[in-house]
Amino acid sequence: MEEIRRLLLRWYDRHRRDLPWRKTRDPYRIWLSEVMLQQTQVRTVLPYYKKFLARFPTLESFARARLDEVLALWSGMGYYNRIRNMHRAAGLVLEEGGEFPRDLQDARRLPGVGRYTAGAVLSIAFGQRQPVVDGNVLRVLARLYKLRGRPHSSRFQDRIWKKAEALVPRRRPGDFNQALMELGATVCTPASPACGRCPLEEQCLARRAGIQEKIPPPLQRRAPGVLHVAAALVRRPGQVLLVRHQDGGVPKGFWQLPSSPCHAAAGSRKALERLVSRWGGRVREKLFSLEHVTTMRRIVFHVFRAEAPKFRPAAVGGQWVSPDQLEHLPHSASLIKILTRACSI
């Protein structure tokens, strides 16, 4: 066990990526990076992390910000409950004195802070001997110890967490946890692991047995469901009409084109006409269909040009929005895709 620790930390010191959250011990900044990195790749996170800290450099500034402002800055990252939970949790931390809890159970009582996030912040920021298990760590440890089973079963999870807990050293626990994550992200990858570059190649039981690519077994994912949405593009010079979330495949409270779910492309015009007619408006020609894929579903937007000369946006919580204003409003990546396509017509 001591040899594994020594080899891994030496490898990490030589090969770790130069990432901004590895240059701080501020628990807020480490917490933010861990929340952003859930379900999101490093290259996507980097510009968002920089923008967030420019706007909210401290936990207090983040906790006191309006949720709309926070969501606007997060727009495009997806999994919006991550940042909603963190914003709520930051408010609770601020009420309790403004410092991230140093007790594991207290940390885990915060909204959105599970065993992994708590362990990551406590080990990296405060040097506590706490284990972490994310997808990368699970894969490394499953191969290292040749652990078989379904990765999400409680029995398998218990075994992995016990292995992780036993491995964490008293010295440099945060670096060790990051080393495990780094190894999984860059060397011990799901497909075609680079075993020849791995510092633990000789210790890896799966490698010895030649079954490293079979452990852990891949998850069986369901094909995402399909949602069809009819959307109205209503324009005036330099602006487009947006409304708050209705039922158009975007997160609650986000801004989008006036829209309505429909039964495939064939029913899109009728669905939209029912909506726009309430404003005394008219649906014109169909402009295009556009597909947006999320983890949970595939959304097909059928976009029509529409007119509503007598419509008052404030009557339904809508507003005319220019490109400069959009960055200050919560919006989804799908809206940007639609507007970008519309500008080319």
Confidence of residue 248 (pLDDT cuts 50, 70, 90): low
pLDDT at 313 over 80: no
Q: Please tell me the predicted confidence (pLDDT) of residue 85.
A: 96
How far is residue 119's CA from residue 195's CA, in Å, rounded to a whole number?
28
pLDDT at 2 over 60: yes
Catalytic residue among 2, 34, 273, 307: 34
Q: Which pTM was predicted?
A: 0.86
- 186: which 2 tokens? 């860059």
pLDDT at 247 over 60: no
pLDDT in tens, 127-182: 999 999 999 999 999 999 999 989 989 999 999 999 999 999 999 999 999 999 99
Domains in the chain and their CATH numbers? 2-214 (1.10.340.30), 226-343 (3.90.79.10)
Which DSSP string corresponds to 159-172?
HHHHHHHHH--SSS
Phi, psi (5° rounding) for residue 294? -115, 180
Confidence of residue 314 (pLDDT cuts 50, 70, 90): low
How far is residue 168's CA from residue 310's CA, in Å, rounded to a whole number?
66
pLDDT in tens, 91-118: 999 999 999 999 999 999 999 999 999 9
Q: Provide the residue type at 294 as one letter.
A: T
Active site residue 99: no
pLDDT in tens, 57-99: 999 999 999 999 999 999 888 888 999 999 999 999 999 999 9
Instruction: Name the residue with higher pLDDT: 286 or 314.
Output: 286
Confidence of residue 316 (pLDDT cuts 50, 70, 90): low
Question: What angle, 0 to 180 degrees and rounded to 10, lies between the N-to-C axes of helices 173-186 and 115-126?
Answer: 120
pLDDT at 333 over 60: yes
Burial class, 287, CB count within 10 angstroms (exposed 0-12 / middle 13-18 / buried 19+): middle
